């Protein structure tokens, strides 16, 4: 690890939590240079929905390269892009009665968010955007402006103008409808809330702690946006592409956002990001928003292959079933250790186990790693263990990974109890 410690920037993060050199990966298993295997409950922060080195996608990319397919093409027409668009439009959008145009942005999620914010402000001629508590939308300047966590915001010294934060669903407790505040602010000319060009949100806040918006809350938010001529942007970068059990996380609510940002899993593990927009919102001048690496052709090949998973309901049904397994097993853990005061929440195959005690989740994550499980933390204070396995993980491996978490929690609590007894004796 010395080369990384000596020469890679201090900004490196995950390498500190998982301090080994990984050499191979397949499906839901990572292998380090010593041959030790780890169950992956991180999945590249939601990028690897179809697993590491998905066989069909890998084979398609290899054949594409062997055939001298175009790798870099700016935004020019290529065969790979043509096939991707056909698969997206006819295989994903039309069956869901969604009519969108597609904009290929720079290759990361934050590029897609920047494009959505820029377009919304341009089309509506307004500067203000409403974002939500605990939201995470990226770390470039515009995206950072609508990201809530001060850990990312404070040191950047970004302007906090033109963004208004409101409480997300459940932020004030289960019995308070936070949208009542939004309505009141909009109806009060002295509220200080400038009429927004757009509202941006994740339907399931992943980095924010796996906070799930209720379908009826989302439907009411869409109604407010329609009433006040505000564009609704859904950031589906981490919880889209099947993570919720539906291809888009907003399907359950019945809403049709004006703009949707997609990245992470849509590229099959390769950099790819895009924005979906209502056709009438496509008001760009040619070349007005550009980028050298928009439209990764190799990622188009992988994505087109992965779209085949959605030709029937098999994957969707599997995600919902395995999501049920995750919910059931995590609720058992919460009941087994009442002293944790744990809260279980999630949907599809993204679940969180929130533990109020400061630092405990970090201990659990570290011990899990020693035992062969990679699992990330989420929430404003890293108080949530975030369960984010590949969608294709088999049930046996899924249960084994959750059992490791159970075992780690038990050992930590036992050690804590023994330590307290020792202190009492002294």
Find the mean pLDDT for residues 273-301. Answer: 96
Which pLDDT belongs to residue 424? Answer: 53
Which pLDDT belongs to residue 137? Answer: 96
Which pLDDT belongs to residue 126? Answer: 98
Which pLDDT belongs to residue 420? Answer: 67
2-54+313-425 carries CATH number 3.20.20.80 = no
CA distance 115 to 104: 10
Which pLDDT belongs to residue 296? Answer: 95
Find the mean pLDDT for residues 88-99. Answer: 98
CATH of domain 69-310: 3.40.640.10
Residue range 118-145, pLDDT digits in tens: 999 999 999 999 999 999 999 998 999 9
Find the mean pLDDT for residues 206-220. Answer: 98
What is the pLDDT of the chain when averaged over all its residues? 95
Say whether pLDDT at 426 is over 60: no
- Side by side, the strands of the sheet bearing 37-40 are 22-26, 29-32, 37-40, 373-374
Which pLDDT belongs to residue 419? Answer: 73
Q: Are 349 and 245 in contact (CB under 8 A)?
A: yes
Which candidate, 266, 365, 294, 349, places its Cα nearest to that of 78? Answer: 294
Say whether pLDDT at 13 is over 90: no
- Which part of the chain is CATH 3.40.640.10? 69-310
- Which part of the chain is CATH 3.90.1150.10? 2-54+313-425
Residue range 314-369, pLDDT digits in tens: 999 999 999 999 999 999 999 999 999 999 999 999 999 999 999 999 999 999 99
pTM of the model: 0.95
Find the mean pLDDT for residues 364-379. Answer: 98
- Residue 151 pLDDT level (bands cut at 50, 70, 90): confident
Give the pair of three-digit tokens for residue 172. Answer: 């004030």
Say whether pLDDT at 10 is over 90: no
CA distance 193 to 163: 10
Which candidate, 266, 262, 270, places its Cα nearest to that of 61? Answer: 270
CA distance 91 to 384: 35
Which pLDDT belongs to residue 387? Answer: 99
CA distance 329 to 344: 10
Which pLDDT belongs to residue 372? Answer: 98
Q: Are 115 and 260 in contact (CB under 8 A)?
A: no
């Amino acid at each position: 690890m010395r080369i990384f410690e000596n020469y890679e920037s201090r900004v490196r993060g995950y390498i500190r939590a998982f301090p080994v050199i990984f050499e191979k990966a397949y499906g839901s298993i990572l292998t380090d240079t010593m041959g030790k295997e780890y169950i992956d409950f991180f999945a590249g922060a939601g990028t690897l929905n179809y697993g590491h080195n998905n066989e069909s996608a890998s084979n398609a990319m290899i054949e594409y390269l062997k055939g001298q397919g175009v790798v870099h093409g700016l935004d020019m027409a290529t065969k790979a892009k043509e096939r991707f668009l056909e698969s997206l439009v006819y295989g994903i959008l039309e069956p869901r009665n969604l009519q969108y145009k597609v904009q290929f942005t720079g290759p990361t999620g934050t590029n897609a968010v920047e494009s959505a914010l820029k377009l919304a402000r341009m089309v509506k001629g307004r500067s203000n955007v409403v974002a939500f508590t605990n939201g995470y939308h990226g770390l470039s300047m515009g995206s950072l402006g609508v990201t809530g966590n001060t850990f990312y915001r404070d040191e950047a010294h970004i302007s906090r103008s033109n963004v208004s934060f409101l409480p997300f669903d459940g932020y004030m407790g289960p019995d308070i409808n936070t949208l009542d505040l939004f309505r009141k602010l909009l109806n009060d000319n002295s509220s200080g809330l400038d009429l927004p060009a757009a509202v941006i949100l994740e339907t399931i806040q992943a980095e924010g702690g796996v906070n799930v918006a209720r379908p009826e809350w989302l439907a009411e938010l869409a109604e407010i946006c329609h009433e006040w001529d505000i564009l609704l942007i859904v950031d589906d970068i981490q919880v889209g592409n099947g993570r919720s059990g539906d291809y888009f996380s907003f399907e359950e609510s019945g809403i049709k956002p004006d703009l949707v940002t997609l990245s992470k899993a849509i590229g099959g593990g390769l950099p790819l990001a895009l924005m979906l927009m209502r056709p009438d919102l496509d008001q760009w001048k040619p070349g007005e928003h550009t980028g050298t690496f928009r439209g990764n052709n190799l990622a188009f090949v992988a994505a087109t292959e992965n779209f085949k998973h959605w030709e029937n309901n098999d994957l969707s049904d599997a995600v919902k079933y395995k999501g049920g397994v995750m919910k059931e097993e995590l609720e058992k853990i919460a009941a087994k250790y009442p002293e944790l005061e744990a809260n279980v929440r999630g949907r599809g195959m993204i679940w969180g186990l929130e533990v109020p005690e400061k630092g405990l989740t970090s201990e659990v994550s570290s011990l899990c790693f020693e035992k062969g499980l990679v699992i990330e933390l989420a929430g404003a204070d890293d108080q949530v263990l975030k369960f984010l396995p590949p969608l294709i993980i088999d049930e046996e491996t899924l249960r084994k990974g959750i059992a490791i978490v159970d075992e780690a929690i038990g050992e930590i609590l036992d050690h804590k109890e023994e330590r307290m007894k020792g202190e009492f004796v002294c």
